[in-house]
Amino acid sequence: MTPIVHQFLSIDLAPILTAVFASIACGVLGNFLVLRRLSLMGDAISHSVLPGLVIAFLITGTRSPPAMFIGAAAAGVLTVAVVELIRRFGRLESGAAMGVTFSIFFALGVLLLEQAAARQVDLDPDCVLHGMLETIFWFPPGDWSSFWSLHTLTITPRQVMVTGSMALIAILFVTIFFKELRLATFDPALATALGMNASVIHYALMILVAASVVAAFEAVGSILVIAMLICPAATARLLTDRLRTQVILSAVISITTAILGYVLGAFAPIWVGYDASLSATGMMTVVAGALFTGVVIFSPTQGLVVKQVRRIRLSSSIAREDALGLLYRFEEHGRGRTTYAELHETLGRSIPARLGLRAALRKGEITREGPSLALTDLGRRAAASVIRSHRLWETYLVTQVGLRPDHVHDTAMRLEHVATDTVRHALAENEPDTRTDPQGKAIPGDQSSGASGRT
């Protein structure tokens, strides 16, 4: 083992493992908080453990890890119970119940610190907010044969073992009870009807969330805990609609966030010429937020870019159908050709309108001779289908809804673009006469089957 590798193992490996394990534990469980709309629960628990820490110190007179862990865990579980009591009996929304609870608990912890002479408890803002990740240090064996031995586990830092155990418990819990968690998350009433106790599943999940928060609290602080409970799950949610895939993706995102955040916080400033490093937990939170922001923008299914592209495509498709319909109406009035200027005067000169007209030209639905345009046989059939939808909707709105004939054109202009062959068939079947619309204009025949229709 080279000195550089040994230095990395001594200084960086333990913090990285601690952050990875804490992120996995919080990220995996956070999926069910996000889906249940209980994302604030992690924030509530992370703030509410303060009175548990102070009371544990007052009772035991020591800051030993077991005592602090028990006190914080008790406070976390009590927080979950109080939130449920307020939500059920106070008939408050979950977010309000959690906000009230963690505000009161955190204020109680501060009051105990001030009034109970417990100021020597090591809970300064850096510990509470940012954790003590950079202070995790150990002396691993100097050769690989000794490193890969059971003795190494006995000298592994406590934070690594605690967060690693919590990550393992969280993964086993989600794996074993995945079916129950899925059903209780999406339909608690059905879960109860099938013999599953949805309340027990809920409380078990909340207790594990509290334990994960407490396990990670000392090492990574409340900021990263809150971020890891929400960001990986929310990021994965934007990438898939399958829960199993979402859980796996959230674990991968948690690992990526922890490692990349630590590397950027510890080494990136040195790479660009600065002497001091940045807060590792702070940088991990920034990375989590950056990944979420990137997915919000570039998600292949729900990203802003994809939604905008879909919106433009839909708008251009509507503009194309409007252009075909307009040319068809011109033909009804004896005009075989028209100009770009006349089309743009009606359709506008927006980007979707231009794209729609280009699409019709590219598909061979419109032919162009100089500045004039006309429908081809293919375009005439497509236009007839649009006009048929429009006039069937007008007929339906007048005969079935009871609107006046001069009040239905604009509504039918919107509905004509969402009418499938099945909808057009249903509209025609429900009308005694589909030869003409309420204005007396002929309704084109059914173009999907080649029938001439009752025109």
Give the orientation angle of helix 304-332 with respect to helix 280-298, to 10 degrees. 10
Q: pTM value?
A: 0.78
Among 285-289, 342-346, 425-429, 448-452, the minimum mean pLDDT is found in 448-452
pLDDT over threshold 90, residue 21? yes
- Distance (Å, whole) CA 24 – CA 243: 16
Contact predicate 72/48, CB 8 Å: no
* pLDDT one-digit tens code per residue, 50-93: 788 778 877 887 766 677 778 877 887 888 888 888 888 877 77
* pLDDT one-digit tens code per residue, 176-205: 999 999 998 888 888 888 888 888 888 888
Q: Given this model, what pLDDT does residue 170 score? A: 93
Contact predicate 272/41, CB 8 Å: no
Domain boundaries, the chain: 3-300, 307-375, 393-455
- Assign a CATH topology to domain 3-300: ABC transporter involved in vitamin B12 uptake, BtuC (1.10.3470)
Average pLDDT over residues 129-154: 76
Whether domain 393-455 has CATH 1.10.60.10: yes
**In the chain, % of residues over pLDDT 90:** 20
CATH number for 307-375 (one of 1.10.287, 1.10.3210, 1.20.140, 1.10.10): it is 1.10.10
- Residue whose entry in the numeric block shows the structure tokens 């119970």: 81
Among 87-96, 229-238, 376-385, the minimum mean pLDDT is found in 87-96
- Residue whose entry in the numeric block shows the structure tokens 């406590």: 158
